[in-house]
């Protein structure tokens, strides 16, 4: 490269048109997956720690699916807020064929069949201890949990879910779920594995949103990853691919862009990233205080995921961002 003064990198930054012409990454609604909280309550209600996010009744979730279609958002990921009285140690609502998630899937698929439905597989929205798995003497059981997760995944597939997304971080669950789906004729149902999921402080508002914050005993460090590690993330992803994952995810998002970049470079498969509740809350809170331009910060953070190599972003901002991107 020629040196200054022959080379002046500011030259190309002079105009809007020249900046647009050399732009390497673009964000479109196709990049967004709308993370949406559904509730079994009679009325939709705002989530206090996530301004702008509402827990939706099944009827309102169906309307959201129609809105997603209109906005060009390809898929919605559902997260349930169930009544505390329905929670127990083994999370029996997780595989209830008439439960909140199954009903939501059906209502949303009826309303807008063109929109993909992604369901979280993990027991935490349904357990009274708030953990993703079964517990015995304070230990989260792996293999017994995987059996429950297979049952949960089958319930979701039978209800019409398009993508099964295990977020529990048990070992071997992707392979077990793939086998369970195939055995029942669900070869076409995709698996998006939360492959590199970290034990993160940024999930705080989510646990408020789904009502597991009060319930959670201890932390999730024996199954979710240590934020200090990167090699381990590659091993997690490699195992999940070998077990049949169609897509993998890194979570949280912005603090883990290095992991997104490494995973995409190493495996070259559809790679997603979850801009989690705490990331959303930080941007919204700072914007509400007038400390940052919330809209610009939102779009900049979403673009950063694309730059790092993500094929798509799960985000609570999806409808807001799509409206802006659609002009
Ligand atoms: C639970 C699950 C969590 C999130 C998605 N699925 C929380 C956790 O692991 O404690 C977090 C989502 C967010 O923070 O937005 N299996």
Extended beta strands in the chain, E state: 32-39, 45-46, 54-55, 75-81, 116-121, 135-136, 139-140, 163-166, 190-197, 247-251, 271-275, 312-315
**pLDDT reading at 212 higher than 90:** no
User: Residue 62, SS3?
Assistant: helix
CATH H-level, domain 26-325: superfamily: Aldolase class I (3.20.20.70)
Catalytic residue numbers read 197, 251
The pick from 34, 203, 313 for probing ligand 1's pocket by mutation, whose C-beta has the most ligand atoms within 8 angstroms, reads: 203
* pLDDT computed for residue 24 by the predictor: 98
Nearest CA to ligand 1 atom 8: 203
Question: Is residue 111 pLDDT above 80, yes or no?
Answer: yes
Pairwise CA distance, residues 94 & 121, whole Å? 8
pLDDT of residue 161: 98
pLDDT band at 211 (very low <50, low <70, confident <90, very high): confident
- Quick check: 155 and 119 in contact, CB under 8 A? no
Please state the domain extents for the chain.
26-325
In terms of pTM, does the model score above 0.75?
yes
- Contact call for residues 313 and 273 (beta carbons, < 8 A): yes
> For a pocket test of ligand 1, which of 132, 164, 216 has the largest count of ligand atoms closer than 8 A to its C-beta?
132
The structure tokens listed for 175 are: 């392979």
Q: Mean pLDDT for the chain? A: 97
**DSSP code per residue over 94-116:** GG-TTSHHHHHHHHHHHH-TTSE
For residue 241, give both structure tokens: 């691919």
Q: Looking at 221-295, which runs of residues are DSSP E strands? A: 247-251, 271-275
Cβ of 277 closer than 6 Å to ligand 1, yes or no, is yes
pLDDT above 90: residue 215: no
């Amino acid at each position: 490269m020629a040196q200054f003064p022959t080379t002046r990198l500011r030259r190309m930054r002079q105009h809007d048109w020249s900046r647009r012409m050399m732009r390497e990454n673009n964000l479109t609604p196709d990049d967004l997956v709308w993370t949406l909280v559904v509730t079994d309550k009679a009325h939709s209600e705002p989530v206090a720690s996530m301004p702008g996010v509402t827990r939706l009744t099944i009827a309102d979730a169906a309307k959201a699916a129609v809105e997603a279609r209109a906005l060009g958002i390809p898929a919605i990921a559902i997260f349930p807020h169930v009544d505390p009285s329905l929670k127990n140690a083994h999370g029996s609502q997780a595989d209830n064929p008439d439960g909140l998630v199954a009903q939501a899937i059906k209502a949303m698929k009826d309303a807008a069949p063109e929109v993909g439905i992604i369901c979280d597989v993990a027991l935490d929205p349904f357990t009274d201890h708030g953990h993703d798995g079964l517990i015995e003497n304070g230990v989260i059981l792996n293999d017994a949990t995987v059996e429950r997760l297979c049952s949960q995944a089958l319930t979701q597939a039978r209800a019409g879910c398009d993508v099964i997304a295990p977020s529990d971080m048990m070992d071997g669950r992707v392979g077990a779920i793939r086998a369970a789906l195939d055995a029942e004729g669900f070869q076409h149902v995709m698996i998006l594995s939360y492959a590199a999921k970290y034990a993160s402080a940024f999930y705080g508002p989510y646990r408020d949103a789904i009502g597991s914050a009060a319930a959670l005993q201890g932390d999730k460090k024996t199954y979710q990853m240590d934020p200090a590690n990167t090699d381990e993330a590659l091993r997690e992803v490699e195992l999940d691919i070998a077990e049949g994952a169609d897509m993998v995810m890194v979570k949280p998002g912005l603090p883990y862009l290095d992991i997104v970049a490494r995973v995409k470079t190493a495996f070259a498969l559809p790679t997603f990233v979850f801009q989690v509740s705490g990331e959303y809350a930080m941007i919204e809170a700072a914007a509400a205080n007038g400390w940052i331009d919330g809209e610009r910060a939102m779009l900049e953070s979403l673009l950063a995921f694309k730059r790092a190599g993500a094929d798509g972003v799960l985000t609570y901002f999806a409808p807001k961002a799509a409206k802006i991107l659609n002009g």
